[in-house]
Amino acid sequence: MTVQEWIHRATETLKGAGIASARLDAELLLAHTLRKPRTWLHAHGDDILSDRHYEIVEARLDLRLDRVPIAYIIGHKEFYGRRFKVTTATLIPRPESEDLISLLEVALPSNTSLLPTAPLRLVDVGTGSGILGITAKLEHPELEVTLLDISRHALQVAEDNARALDADVTCIQSDLLGQYPYIADIIIANLPYVDAEWERSPETNHEPATALFAADNGKALIYILIEQTASVLKPGGYIILEADPVQHDDITRRAAKYRLVEAGRDGYGLLLQKLA
């Protein structure tokens, strides 16, 4: 079977299973199997697949038909223009998480002369694969960044990503901010915020439930984190949260009890500032 023939057949098979990204997924699976970029496939459509490559890519196609997310099959996902390793110990990075990086730009002084002498401390709570904290460090090298996660396996993935991307960050195993030893200037967090009763895609069944779901209509862990800011976040500091936009008003009302006021929203991102 040629490259072009396999892509066509796999695309139709994936479409039949109701997978909207059928053509893209087929190309990603084959490109990963052949260890070639997707553009190579377009230029070598008449190349014949070896028996070994055919067997491997068919097994990967079966996984995708079982609705295993493509990122878990190929082992990585792009975020903010960088490739991050992902495993089944971590959530798959989603485009909406980039909203938090946009809000970080709002929280940081636009005039670098206004930065304090000591580095600003940013802590990424529930870091997973490390996308938020590592991206913050690479975009703003002046930040002192710490990554926290309760899962040792997830933290290992974050450490691997930091090493691969040459990001100078500190990793600490911690239940939310429980083991964080500093006072932070900025807290950034994509905590579990999905209500188990919400309608969702079958792919989420393969992601770690502890990183996806939370009680109290998805807001329980966010509320605990907000309470912890009383002793961990500097006056005037910021907390940047990811949550479904339908949750933002409830979160803002709860935050007001802890002297946190809304300073901005961007898609799924919510920016709160601690009153001085």
What is the tally of structural domains in the chain?
2
pLDDT band for 115, please (50, 70, 90 cuts).
Answer: low
Q: What is the CATH number of the domain that holds 170?
A: 3.40.50.150
| Nearest C-alpha neighbor of 250 from the set 216, 213, 209 | 216
Q: What percentage of the chain exceeds 70 in pLDDT? A: 97
Residues 36-46: pLDDT tens digits?
Answer: 999 999 999 99
Residues 127-178: pLDDT tens digits?
Answer: 999 999 999 999 999 999 999 999 999 999 999 999 999 999 999 999 999 9
Q: What is the CATH number of the domain that holds 51?
A: 1.10.8.10
> To the nearest whole number, what is the mean pLDDT of the chain?
95
In a domain, 108, yes or no: yes
Pair (97, 186) in one structural domain? yes
> Is the pLDDT assigned to residue 114 strictly greater than 60?
no
Would you state the torsion angle of the CA atoms of residues 42, 43, 47, 49, taken in this order, to the nearest 10 degrees? -40
In a domain, 114, yes or no: yes
In a domain, 139, yes or no: yes
Check residue 109 and give its pLDDT: 78
Residue 144 CA, distance from chain mean position: 20
Residue 27 CA, distance from chain mean position: 23
Q: Which domain does 101 fall in, by range?
A: 88-274
In a domain, 132, yes or no: yes
Pair (142, 262) in one structural domain? yes
In a domain, 73, yes or no: no
* d(C-alpha 122, C-alpha 185), whole Å: 6
Check residue 276 and give its pLDDT: 85
Pair (46, 138) in one structural domain? no
Check residue 171 and give its pLDDT: 97
Check residue 213 and give its pLDDT: 93
Rounded to an integer, the average pLDDT of 245-256 is: 97
Does this model's pTM top 0.85? yes
Least confident of 100-114, 190-204, 227-241, 246-260: 100-114
Domain end point (choices 36, 66, 96): 66
Pair (174, 213) in one structural domain? yes
Domain end point (choices 66, 97, 119): 66
> Is the pLDDT assigned to residue 116 strictly greater than 80?
no
Pair (167, 266) in one structural domain? yes
Pair (108, 61) in one structural domain? no
DSSP conformation class of 55: H
Residue 267 contacts by C-beta under 8 Å, 6 or more apart in sequence?
Answer: 96, 99, 245
Residues 46-77: pLDDT tens digits?
Answer: 999 999 999 999 999 999 999 999 999 999 99
Residues 133-145: pLDDT tens digits?
Answer: 999 999 999 999 9
In a domain, 81, yes or no: no
Strand partners of residue 48:
2
In a domain, 83, yes or no: no
Pair (54, 114) in one structural domain? no
